[in-house]
Amino acid sequence: MKMHATTILCVKRDGQTAMAGDGQVSAGQTILKGNAVKVRKLFNGKILGGFAGATADAFTLLEKLEEKLQAYGGNLTRAAVELAKDWRTDKMLRRLEAMLIAADKEKIFLLTGNGDVIEPEEGVIAIGSGGNYALASARALVRHTKLSAAEICKESLRVAAEICVYTNESVTLETLE
């Protein structure tokens, strides 16, 4: 049975970084859970982390990211690069099926098992089944409104939930000011 992920969106705007994720966990055509929390604050509330993919794999990766943040004094860039290296080369980690978004007040990174550490150009990035819908909505709202990063995240997740059957409106939102 194919597991479908989620929708995670991160927006940085006007000194605020916001990350939101929906709560739906699906297997095939069945909703297993509607209120999962897939966005968290890490490193004493200074870093945001969100995941899409296999839940146990994503939790493992968030734990590894937290370890790297501790090892590098909260330096998100260094921690992200080191996690991506380990994820790509470690025999156990490279089998993990998930994607992460990690952000602090200055930077946002998409991390993948291919060794990618991607910083979006426009301060907006999304992952998961409804990620492209949320991303398109967020980009339009960034360009054509004065909404805050948090407001853009909420509205864009609502749009994604209207389109993507694997995304719901039970949203977890975290911000860094």
Distance CA 40, CA 70 (A): 16
What are the catalytic residues? 6
- 104 by Cβ neighbours in 10 Å (0-12 / 13-18 / 19+) ranks as buried
| The pair of three-digit structure tokens given for residue 92, joined into one six-digit string | 């156990």
Nearest partner of 7 among 30, 82, 17, 20, judged by Cα: 20
For residue 156, give Cα distances in angstroms to 58, 62, 140. 23, 24, 10
